[in-house]
Amino acid sequence: MFQRLMQSAVVWSWAMNGLRLGSGVIVLPLLIHRLSGPDFGMYFVLLSLSALVPILDLGFAASIGRAVSYAMGGAKELQAQGYTPETSATGPNYELLGRLLPTARQLYRLLSFAALVLLGALGSTMVALRVHETSAPAVTWIAWGITLSAAVWELYAGWWNVFLRSMDQVRLSTQLGVLALAVRILLSCLLLIGGAGLLSVPLATLVGSVLQREISRRAVLRLLPQAAHHATPAEVKQLVTTLWPNSWRIGLQFSSGYLAGHANTLVCQTVFGLAAAAEYGFSLQLVIIGVTMAQVWTLVKWPLVGKLRIKNDHVALRRILWPRVWFQVLTYLALALGVILVVPALLRWAGSDKSTLPVLWFSLLALQGLLEMNYSFWGTLISTENRMPFVWPIIISNLTSFLVVLILVSTTGLGLAAFVISPLIIGCLYNHWKWPCEGARSIGTNWWRFMSRKW
């Protein structure tokens, strides 16, 4: 049983999520204890700047991952939209993989340089506004320089792990992520205890990223024939041109979700104050944790889904995905029920002044999490056809939901419930039913038939 657990990509993914939670439990108290008030505030400025890295990727990681999974399924060529089924393919197309490798390398060199300029200018401006308040301005500038280096390096080097994962090496990829994260946490703690202050977390992040990149790189090169690592400038340009149409759509969708979340937080803090914002934010984070833990069941299968998609093997897709979807739903329901019932009781028992949303609104927030997880799964499945019909509806929904929040907050007495009701209603109008129906059709069935029978 132990060996089986150690071979499970799901277990390793849960370990990764557990470490992410553990970093908050272990590192955050040390930061509170070891940093002065202004330094602690500056830490969150640096953290918010680092959080921009996924947006600066412009969606290329997802496109490259899909292209690699197609190549592993035997695809001969890539298309800007859609795909050509390769039902007769007998193995990976190493020639295409070999062209994708140098293409990713050169592409991320350009993205990293752009990130260095843009993030460097934005971050330096933000740090300069408050650096004089910190305990050691010179150290703060060094910490920002290391943070910028770590962020740019993570963008430049992170694609190696994406490449490895998309070659259907999900367990190895996740194990490397666990290793890198464990190193970050341990080194952060040691540096904080040793008195490195603001330098601690950026240095630990940089070391973890370097370690993950080096091992991922060696694993990818070991899996690919050495002779295949070649692409002419014309081939690189052609592949980037092919990847771009869906990449910018994904990047735009990610940016929309990021900005919508921050806009809601800003409105909540401005109108209701920090205490109310903490109540809503805490409840939302608990729901997000539940979604993240449950999604692991399907997350580990996307590289295989891409391989099967290029072969148009709908039977195998339904057989693989059906139990995973049900495991995902049941895991989330169990976690959500436990959180709604247990966390408020624990807070009361501990005599904490912190709280979650009232049970009714917390339950509706959990329902919204379930529905978003559902259409996210089906949208990702649709994207394995190399098309993104859901991007503009989701962006419009994010904008509409934010506008409805503003209206409800200013014209009703709903309070924090406005942040729960608005996305739930807007999502149910279209996204929550449209993409499950279309996603099921993409594998030769309908949603009800897929969910109600064992394949």
What is the model's pLDDT at position 165? 94
Give the pair of three-digit tokens for residue 324: 């995973």
pLDDT of residue 397: 94
The CB-based long-range contact list for 398-406 (8 Å cut-off, 24+ gap) reads 398/256, 398/257, 398/259, 398/260, 399/256, 399/260, 400/426, 401/260, 401/426, 401/427, 402/260, 402/263, 402/264, 405/264, 405/267, 406/267
Question: What pLDDT, on the 0 to 100 scale, is given for residue 228?
Answer: 65
Tokens of 290: 């539940």
User: What is the structure's pLDDT at 89?
Assistant: 66
- pLDDT means over runs of 10, the chain (455 residues): 79 87 78 83 84 86 94 90 81 90 93 93 88 88 94 92 93 92 93 91 93 93 77 89 92 86 80 78 87 93 93 94 96 94 84 81 94 95 94 94 92 89 94 95 94 85
Q: What is the CA radius of gyration of the chain?
A: 23
| Residue 36 DSSP code | -
> Token pair of 285, please?
């984070």
pTM over 0.85: yes
Q: Which of 63, 100, 50 is nearest to 209 (CA)?
A: 50
Q: Tell me phi and psi for residue 143, to 5 degrees.
A: -60, -40
CA atoms within 13 A on the CB side of 378: 26
Residue-wise DSSP of 364-426: HHHHHHHHHHHHHHHHHHHHTTS--TTHHHHHHHHHHHHHHHHHHHHHSS-GGGHHHHHHHHH
Query: Is 192 in contact with 27 (CB distance < 8 Å)?
Result: yes
The residue ranges of DSSP E strands in 49-130, in sequence order, are: none
Q: pLDDT tens for residues 217-250? A: 999 999 887 656 778 889 899 999 999 999 999 9
The two three-digit tokens of residue 408, written as one number: 């409800």
pLDDT score, position 142: 94
pLDDT at position 280: 85
pLDDT reported for residue 404: 94
pLDDT given for residue 191 in this prediction: 93
Cα dihedral 450, 452, 453, 454 sign: positive
Q: What is the dihedral of CA 356, 360, 365, 371, to 10 degrees?
A: 150
Task: Tell me the pLDDT tens digit for each residue of 347-392.
Answer: 788 776 677 889 999 999 999 999 999 999 999 999 999 999 999 9
